[in-house]
A = this chain, B = another copy of it.
Amino acid sequence: MIIQKTENSRLPDFDPNNFSFGNTFIDHMVICEYENGKWGDVKLVPYGPIPFTPAMMGVNYGQACFEGMKAYKDKDGQVFLFRPEKNFERINKSAKRLAMPEVTEEMFLDGLKALVDIDRNWIPQGEGMSLYIRPLIFATEEALKARVANKYMFAIVATPAKSYYSEPVSVKISDHYSRAANGGVGSAKAAGNYAASFYPTQLAIEEGYEQIIWTDDATHEYFEESGTMNVFVRINDTIYTPPTSEKILDGVTRDSFIQLAKKRGIEVKIEPVAVKTVIEAQKNGTLKEVWGVGTAVVTTVFQALGYQGEKLELPKLSDEESFAAMLKKDLTDLQNNLSEDPFGWRVVVEKDVLETV
């Protein structure tokens, strides 16, 4: 790994109690370039601009995929990643589906640890605080040809993330727009999937909702995801979530929720979730909770479902009654080293790993 430390750290100007999530960047970033059929040296360099022309293939033909993950600092200042091998596996699954070169475990995991270590002082401490980390791969070749690119960049950038309480939101069950096709790229964390979701979401917002529950594009009869999250439904005391597929992202938070629920003895059914079943359960009072899960917010609880012009209210549960709240606490306690880790999900980021590289 080639290391070029910044000479102008922005850390003295960073106020961990008052910063903007998403556009406050830590001092460094990892970059690695792909050319002539192979990845070059991994470089840890000051965060900053790289020159690209508007002919860059990434913004012309959309070969671009990413991961979202976090690093957590416990009360003793120890820093942890959470199941980073899952993100490593998934970025390569995304890359493969987009005909992009896969990255090596060294590039991904060592790059990640080196970056988090060198900028560990940027990680805010305290409940729900974290460092949000964005590994990504995108095509950098300059060419106006609709074909697989020959040059790529793998990069890791990161921004401090605040604890934020996510208000319960109203979601519209989609009856026209969709985020994924059969035989498409729905299960990849492909850049294009996000852009495709913005306009339908804007329309839903105009109708008084905050997000969309995506349904299958052919019939709109089955739940797929909600917003940019995986979706869970609780009917009586059983949790349902759709199986992952080529249309549904294999979310790390989704998988963690399933395992944490099972550990608590909660019945979890991984099976297609029919809109009709959910609506009937709402009508007969057995629908207790519907929520989305993802790395950024962990959990967003839904207070109402929009369906065929009706806004169907969901029960307001206390934190003691809510499986969503319970599992969120189980997960964040584990992530923040406030509880045991029977799964081996936490990965310590050693100090000064760079000296040993």
Interface residues of A, Cβ cutoff 8 Å to B: 21-23, 25, 29, 31, 47-55, 58-64, 66, 68, 96-99, 132, 134, 136, 138, 141-148, 153, 155, 157, 159, 174, 176-185, 190-196, 198-200, 202, 217-218, 228, 296
Contact = CB atoms under 8 A, between A and B. Distances in A.
A179, A192, A195 — most chain B CB neighbours (10 Å) = A195
B181 A174 contact: no
B196 A190 contact: yes
A109 to B, nearest CB: 18
Contacts of A51: 48-52
In the assembly, how many copies of this chain are there?
A: 2
Contacts of A181: 178-182, 184, 217
A258 B201 CA distance: 36
A198 B143 contact: no
Contacts of A198: 61, 63, 98-99, 147-148
A12 to B, nearest CB: 21
Contacts of A193: 62, 192
A206 B47 CA distance: 41
A214 to B, nearest CB: 9
A253 to B, nearest CB: 14
Contact of A47 (B53, B99, B153, B228): B53
Given A157-B54, A181-B178, A181-B179, A196 B62 contact: yes
Contact of A53 (B49, B146, B194): B49
B190 A62 contact: yes
A28 B357 CA distance: 44
B64 A60 contact: yes
Nearest to A182: B217
A183 B177 contact: yes
A184 B148 CA distance: 23
Closest 4 CB pairs of A and B: A192-B192, A49-B51, A62-B191, A181-B181
Nearest to A21: B145
A37 B190 CA distance: 27
Given A25-B55, A54-B29, A194 B138 contact: no
A136 B144 CA distance: 11
B202 A196 contact: no
A21 B193 CA distance: 30
Given A181-B181, A184-B178, A195 B55 contact: no
22 contacts: A22-B144, A22-B145, A23-B55, A29-B54, A47-B53, A55-B157, A58-B59, A60-B194, A61-B194, A62-B194, A63-B198, A98-B199, A132-B144, A148-B198, A178-B182, A181-B182, A184-B196, A191-B191, A191-B192, A192-B196, A217-B218, A218-B218
B136 A60 contact: yes
A25, A61, A159, A218 — most chain B CB neighbours (10 Å) = A61
B55 A96 contact: no
Given A23-B143, A144-B159, A190-B192, 8 more contacts: A22-B145, A23-B142, A50-B53, A59-B138, A99-B195, A146-B194, A184-B184, A192-B193
Contacts of A58: 58-59, 191
A58, A96, A144 — most chain B CB neighbours (10 Å) = A144
Contact of A62 (B29, B184, B195): B195
